[in-house]
Amino acid sequence: MLVEDEAVTALAMNLALESMGFTTAEPVATGHKALERLAIDRPDVVLMDINLTGEMDGIDTACHIRRRSSVPIIFISGYCSGEVLARARALHPAAIFVKPVRPEDLRGAIEATARKSCGSNLE
């Protein structure tokens, strides 16, 4: 699941994920929508923008997700102050990236997260 409020960025990231061979659902733009879709989409990994518009930022949304699911979360942000990073790290995410994210780095993080979650070796 991709949670990204900038439509152009969401489209580009979704296309990149698909080109890497990952199955993707339609990106969501708000924390509330992510929580609604969590049970429906049942993602293997959540890619979460930290700076979301709306009532909840990505970190708040990730807290709610953690209460409902053990799905791994990878944070992605355009900027990260020390305070924001500390809040994000407190949730023990699978990874934290600052935009722009290199596709090969994102792919590696997703694959490592999947291996860890499944307890298997992906090739």
Residue 49 CA to residue 31 CA, distance in Å, equals 10
| pLDDT single digits (tens) 91-123 | 999 999 988 888 899 999 999 987 776 554 443
Taking all residues of the chain, what is their mean pLDDT, rounded to a whole number? 90
Rounded to whole angstroms, the Cα distance separating 37 from 69 reads: 12
pLDDT at residue 78, rounded to an integer? 84
Residue 45: pLDDT above 50? Answer: yes
pLDDT value of position 122: 40
In a domain, 121, yes or no: no
- In this structure, is residue 111 part of a structural domain? no
Domain count, the chain: 1
Residue 87 within a domain: yes
* Average pLDDT over every residue of 9-37: 94
CA atoms within 13 Å, Cβ hemisphere of 98: 6
Residue ranges making up the domain that contains 65: 2-101
Domain presence at residue 79:
yes
| Residue 41: CATH number of its domain | 3.40.50.2300
Tell whether 107 is covered by a domain: no
Please indicate, yes or no, if residue 95 is contained in any of the structural domains. yes
Q: Which residue has the higher pLDDT, 103 or 65?
A: 65
Asked if residue 93 is part of any domain, the answer here is yes
Query: Is 19 domain-assigned?
Result: yes
